[in-house]
Amino acid sequence: MPATRLRARLTIAAVAAVGLSLVAPVGAAVAAPPGPGEEARPAGGQGTGTAYTNPVSRRFADTYADPSVIRGKDGWWYAYGTTDPLNEGETERHILPMSRSKDLVSWEYLGDAFTEATLPSWADTDRGAALWAPDIRFVDGRYRLYYVVTETTETDEPNDNAIGVAFADSPTGPWTDSGDPVVGPRRGEGGEEGNFRWTFDPTHVVGPGNTEYLFYGSYYGGIHVTELSDDGTEAIGSPTQVAIDNKYEGAYVIQRDGWWYLFASSANCCAGPTTGYSVHVGRSRDLRGPYVDREGVPLNQSRAGGTPVLAQNGNRWVGTGHNAVVTDLAGQDWTLYHAIDRADPYLTGTEGINERPMLLDRLDWIGGWPTVRAGAWASEGRQPGPITGGRTVTDFTRPDGDFQTERTWSRVSDLYGGTSLVSVGGGMHTVLTRQALPTEVHIEADFRTDAGASGEHGLQAASRPRQGSGIAAMIDPETRQLVVRTTDRGRVTSARSTALPASYDPTDWHSLILEVRNGQAWAQLTHARLGDPLAEATLTLPRGTSPSGLAGAFAQGAGVRVDNLSALRAARLVSQPIPAPGPGRLLRNSSDEFNGSAPAAGWEEVRDPDVTVAGGELVWPVESKDLTGPGGNAGLLLRDVPTGNWTAETKLTIDLGTDNVRNFQQGGLIAYVDDDLFARLSHVAIWNTRQTEFGKEMPYPQPADPGRTSYGGTIVGPPAETTWLRLTHRIDRANGERELQASTSTDGRTWVRGGVWTLPAGSDVRIGLISHGLQTGDQATSRFDYFRLYAD
């Protein structure tokens, strides 16, 4: 037997054997262990959360856009927002405001990362530089804050935006900028002054081998990823574009089950009550891409893919975007993002800064793809909150609840403002729950070692010390491996290991997770629980592995520090989406297969559309007119709809091609009240992209400004040369509003559901077809294979 394997057997046996020879921690009583052959009763481990109603930033801010979130090494959650005044009536801006929470629900304001006097030296204050879109990280023992600097001294031209980074030992600073851009200004095509690509929205990721990367970019230029220097302050090598320009911004990247997931926001962030900002996702086995959506469509092409994760659903919230992802202490993912209350869309008055508070909702993974609340999306009513507390959750600043220690631990203050335990003396040290946890558990803690300490340390579950049995995830500093293994009566029965990166430094704080679920034990080591693991290992548990037992942390020898320990029942994860509404019963007399020589009876032609019917299609050259803005003048083909619920569907072929600029030619469906109040779903050319946009126009929410309108769109699924479009109409029973949800398909069978626009209660809605928007490029032609109307 190899020496390393023999040592492994002895170590795990020792871990299990001492786990219940317990002495009390400071201020705690000793719990009597079970006798030989007795089982600890499955009890405890029930986590607690705080119920909430969005927005969660309401206690301190009316607006808190572009949120970035981390769990600090002191056990608090910290959130950072973009530069804006925080509340209605304020005139002074807050430069990257900071807040904290113990439960992800109740937040308190802590001040700003920068002041006007402490802005980075290379921010051009003469041109009003602002800092946008923060991204918070903890790497190599220090906190980092990445951000956009909108105007810099790198050039003497306007709009020369760039990415910066600042460092701190505390999540609230003081922050020290690195001194120059991480990614500098990038010139756009053409040589005109002030023409710079949008170097916005940074998000940092630790990739394979502990190599650091930065994603950044926006509509002008697209989203890119670049490798970073070892200290995270400089972009090196050549960047790779991962998402098309003119569609995506606000990247956020995590790894899950061997896939890298790129979340990105689409459409206009800030169109007041018609903001259609929403979150889409693609995934890749390689951090540098290519990223594809659920249907296999790449995000970096003209007809760009992207599976919807979060969009408006007909309640008060629109503009749901620029998200971050966190995981609670039971293993459930959550997303924090900003949104706009369509009844109160502006911070002051009826224009200017859009009021974008911070929202929180559950993030589910269904069939390998993320979606918020199983596809229900943004919540408005009261919700159960994240699991962030319980008697088996401790940061060691107070009596440790249902934990008990063995051997000698000492409480010490740490650099980050918290309290941790450090093992003192030789032997095996444990911090375990007093009672057994159930079959499925989620355990985590932060660890680091003092210089010179080399003892194994980690987490354990289903521990039966008197039997020498258990499940453990451990860091082995000597072999530099993350190991997951099981023991039975002192014998190692199964094990999996993963090498740690060569640059891994055990003297820095790292986060370790052990989760036992569905017959598997999974371990993950990260810098700070942000979905970019340094190492992972998954072990299928041997048949007969005992499903419950004590849980907690262990350390071999002196100088191992542990903090933020939790051992809880694993979250019950959602595995099925909310049911999608079917189209209902076909209304043949209200449908048209376009098999004749003219549109069937029931259509009304508005403003003489140039339509013909031939070869089983309705043919309509794209008009050089539009409906958006006051006094829309485009032609329409309309018909009445039934009362109650209905669905309209068409099959559209439009020769928009790809890549070239043919703004803003489109064909599709429209739910029409009048020229200033409608919702349209179309395959549209937007610069070099082709998208399915679901747009809404409405009168501007200000009676003193008659004739002014507000327009915005949200993006659905990717289009193809032939695209199926569907609008589903429901009446909100609470307020009578007309809710319209868009869906698209590229084969007529698999549908992508998108966002919901509402029209006022009592609106006289008609349904129809459109073909308009020609501004540039060769004229396209819309060809409709059919129009079908369904009713429940």
**pLDDT digits 0-9 by tens, 283-312:** 999 999 999 999 999 999 999 999 999 999
Closest CA to 744 of 653, 674, 649, 680: 649
**What is the average pLDDT across 520-534?**
98
**What is the average pLDDT across 595-607?**
97
**pLDDT digits 0-9 by tens, 664-716:** 999 999 999 999 999 999 999 999 999 999 999 999 876 656 778 999 999 99
The mean pLDDT value of the chain amounts to 92
pLDDT of the residue at 439: 86
d(CA 741, CA 719): 17
Q: Could you tell me the pLDDT band of residue 67, with boundaries at 50, 70 and 90?
A: very high
**pLDDT digits 0-9 by tens, 731-749:** 999 999 999 999 999 999 9
d(CA 160, CA 564): 42
Q: Do 678 and 669 meet the contact criterion of CB atoms below 8 Å apart?
A: no
Q: What is the CA radius of gyration of the chain?
A: 29
**What is the average pLDDT across 124-146?**
98
pLDDT of the residue at 400: 65
Q: What pTM, to 2 d.p., does this model score?
A: 0.94
A 10 A CB-CB count for 367 gives: 9
**pLDDT digits 0-9 by tens, 449-493:** 999 999 999 999 977 766 778 999 999 988 999 999 999 888 999
66: left (phi over 0), alpha (psi -120 to 50) or beta: left
E strand residue ranges, 527-559: 535-540, 550-556
**pLDDT digits 0-9 by tens, 415-424:** 776 799 999 9
Place of tokens 């229900």: 376
Q: Do 634 and 626 meet the contact criterion of CB atoms below 8 Å apart?
A: yes
Check residue 16 and report its DSSP letter. Answer: H
**pLDDT digits 0-9 by tens, 698-707:** 998 766 567 7
Q: Do 124 and 153 meet the contact criterion of CB atoms below 8 Å apart?
A: yes
pLDDT of the residue at 1: 30
**Residue type, position 5, single letter:** R
**pLDDT digits 0-9 by tens, 146-197:** 999 999 999 999 999 999 999 999 999 999 999 999 999 999 998 899 999 9
A 10 A CB-CB count for 229 gives: 11
Residue 573: how many CA atoms within 13 Å on its side-chain side? 22
Place of tokens 């509404």: 581
Check residue 76 and report its DSSP letter. Answer: -
pLDDT of the residue at 700: 83
**pLDDT digits 0-9 by tens, 353-381:** 999 999 999 999 999 999 999 999 999 99
225 phi and psi angles, rounded to 5 deg: -130, 140
pLDDT of the residue at 70: 98
Q: Could you tell me the pLDDT band of residue 544, with boundaries at 50, 70 and 90?
A: confident
**Beta strands across the sheet bearing 636-639:** 604-606, 636-639, 766-772, 666-674, 677-686, 689-699, 709-715
- Asked whether the predicted pLDDT for residue 80 surpasses 60, the reply is yes
pLDDT of the residue at 134: 98
**Beta strands across the sheet bearing 68-71:** 68-71, 77-80, 95-101, 108-114
**What is the average pLDDT across 761-765?**
97
Closest CA to 79 of 91, 67, 88: 67
E strand residue ranges, 414-480: 419-424, 428-433, 441-449, 457-464, 469-476
**pLDDT digits 0-9 by tens, 374-416:** 999 999 999 999 999 999 999 998 876 789 998 899 999 877 7
**Residue type, position 410, single letter:** S
**Residue type, position 495, single letter:** A
d(CA 769, CA 779): 18
